[in-house]
Amino acid sequence: MKTFARTLLFASGVILLAHYLPAGYWLLSAKMRRPPIVYYSCTEKQFMFFRYTNQTAIRMDAHGKVYEREEFERILPIDHWMQLLRDGKLPDTVGGVALTAEALRRERLSFRIKPTMIDTPSVNLTPLLDADTGRVRLEMPEDFMRLGATIEFIHAQTNVVEREKSALFQRAFAEAGFVFPATVLGGNPSTMKPYDEGYYVADATGATFHLRQLRGKPDIHRVSSLASAEDKPKWEALKPIYFHVQEQDTREVHAIIVDKSNQAWFAVGKNYRLVPIPLQHYDPARMSLVVRGDLINRLISATGEDSVEAVVLNRDYGLVDRYTEPLVPRAATPAGKLARAIFPFTLRFEDVSTGYLGVFTEVGSRIALLVNGGLLVLMLVWLGSRKQLRLSRLPDLLAVAIGGIYGVALVFLLPKAD
């Protein structure tokens, strides 16, 4: 029992030190590291960057030329149109496109998808707004939709399932060919938006459906049946893991979809055209995807710990330009290299890749492995010289072999074996 208890003590000690010591180290040595903000100049036809170096913001182009703020704003008139308009410097047209305040405001697109939005805990209850109430503003419904093995509506005030409405929707789902249970659901349950797009739902087979409520009635369609003949096979083959719905004034983009192969797609236009976003390194579990659109272009950037990639598409979603830049990951900075040499491994219980708690490990470098080996040899020599090299010291030896400096600290801190 005692050996078990000491083993447990050493194991918990190693886990705790592997969590708290690196956290303390980074609390002291962390420096500001921000990836560059990528822009695309519609006048110069090149990528522009807003970089942070030594806590100073620098505006530059892809060739490293540094710009003053006013010059930077002039080269990016659409991104800074409000300032230029105020200063009276907004050009009338760019590339033959008239820049009016109303059009600039209306055609603005902005989406951001973070890894924690894709893999996150959520309650399987959501309000299904009525997209066509006949009222000027959208209103919150009085019930919540539960979409899983069936579809049900629960009245919030009474906390009772609305049988009639639930049956009505259940029938509509069956008629649309929806196979329960629903596997992915994406929508924007808010009234602070220009219109209601409803929800995109993947059924048990992975097929995508578009669900709305119109004047209290269900409106559900298999999206492939709404798409053009050209896009229909793409929708049929699509296996979504995430739908991002965010209504914008242009009403152009229905949703951004991420599928099982890590490909991101736009669903655009009346015919639900499915446009692949031509990023080559996008990993939804590790990278943030930002979409910024305007009168002329759509700029999509994927930023992770070790790279930033951006593509520019025209208004017809044709590729205009692309840019990739490797970033120095934290582990490759001098502080990171030192941490990887000192700590044989690091444990965290929270991570940017998910909203769920878990065990997230970072393994140290070869130096840490050598340090572990060296410490183990020293430990063996020390125990040998004191004639204590026996089975009861196995937890100590294992702690040093696996935990390196964590193990050494524990050998001196924790109760000795008899």
Partner 1 sequence: MFKALVYKEWIKLRLYWTLIVVAHLLFCVYLCLQLRHAFKLHDALAVWSNWVSKGYLFFKPAKNIPLLLGVVLGCLQFFPEILNKKLRLVLHLPLVEDRAVGVHLLAGLFLFTLALLPGLAVLAVCGASYFPWEFLLNFWYIYLPWFLGGYAAYLLTVFTLVEPTWRLRVTCLLLSAALLKLFYIDSFYDGWRRLLPGMVLLTVALVLLPLLSSNRFSKGYGS
Q: Could you list the residues that contact partner 1 (CB under 8 A)?
A: 1-2, 4-6, 8-9, 12-13, 16, 19-20, 121-127, 140-142, 144, 146, 154, 156-157, 159, 189, 349-350, 355-359, 413-415, 418
Q: How far apart are the two ends of the chain, measured CA to CA in Å?
A: 13
Q: How far is the CB of 124 from partner 1 (least distance, A)?
A: 6
Q: How far is the CB of 170 from partner 1 (least distance, A)?
A: 17
Query: Quick one: 32 or 192, whose CB is closer to partner 1?
Result: 192
Query: Quick one: 103 or 140, whose CB is closer to partner 1?
Result: 140
Q: How far is the CB of 194 from partner 1 (least distance, A)?
A: 20
SS3 letters across the chain: CHHHHHHHHHHHHHHHHHHHHHHHHHHHHCCCCCCCEEEEECCCCEEEEEEEECCEEEEEECCCCEECHHHHHHHCCCCCHHHHHHHCCCCCEECCEECCHHHHHHCCEEEEECHHHHCCCCCCCECCCECCCCCCCCCCCCEEEEECCCEEEEECCCCEECHHHHHHHHHHHHHCCCCCCCCEEEECCCCCCCCCCCEEEECCCCCEEEEEEECCEEEEEEHHHHCCCCCHHHHHHCCEEEEECCCCCCCCEEEEEEECCCCEEEEECCCCEEEECCCCCCCCCCCEEEEEECCCEEEEEEECCCEEEEEEEECCCCEEEEEEEECCCHHHCHHHHHHHHHCCEEEECCECCECCCCCEEEECCHHHHHHHHHHHHHHHHHHHHCCCCCHHHHHHHHHHHHHCHHHHHHHHHCCCCC
Query: Quick one: 213 or 365, whose CB is closer to partner 1?
Result: 213
* Cα–Cα distance for residue pair 66/250, rounded to 1 Å: 34
Say if CB 182 and CB 203 are below 8 A apart. yes
Q: Which residues pair with 117 in a beta bridge?
A: none
Residue 181: asked if its preceding bond is cis (omega within 30°), the reply is: yes
- Using CA of residue 132, residue 133, residue 139, residue 141, what is the dihedral sign? negative
Q: How far is the CB of 236 from partner 1 (least distance, A)?
A: 32
Q: How far is the CB of 92 from partner 1 (least distance, A)?
A: 43
Q: How far is the CB of 392 from partner 1 (least distance, A)?
A: 13
Both tokens assigned to 99: 């820049």
Q: How far is the CB of 316 from partner 1 (least distance, A)?
A: 36
Query: Quick one: 41 or 346, whose CB is closer to partner 1?
Result: 346
Query: Quick one: 40 or 169, whose CB is closer to partner 1?
Result: 169
Query: Quick one: 152 or 203, whose CB is closer to partner 1?
Result: 152
Q: How far is the CB of 390 from partner 1 (least distance, A)?
A: 18
Query: Quick one: 85 or 154, whose CB is closer to partner 1?
Result: 154
Query: Quick one: 64 or 121, whose CB is closer to partner 1?
Result: 121
Say if CB 321 and CB 40 are below 8 A apart. yes
Query: Quick one: 138 or 154, whose CB is closer to partner 1?
Result: 154
Say if CB 244 and CB 266 are below 8 A apart. no
Q: How far is the CB of 243 from partner 1 (least distance, A)?
A: 17
Q: How far is the CB of 199 from partner 1 (least distance, A)?
A: 14
Query: Quick one: 211 or 296, whose CB is closer to partner 1?
Result: 211
Q: How far is the CB of 130 from partner 1 (least distance, A)?
A: 14
Query: Quick one: 4 or 391, whose CB is closer to partner 1?
Result: 4
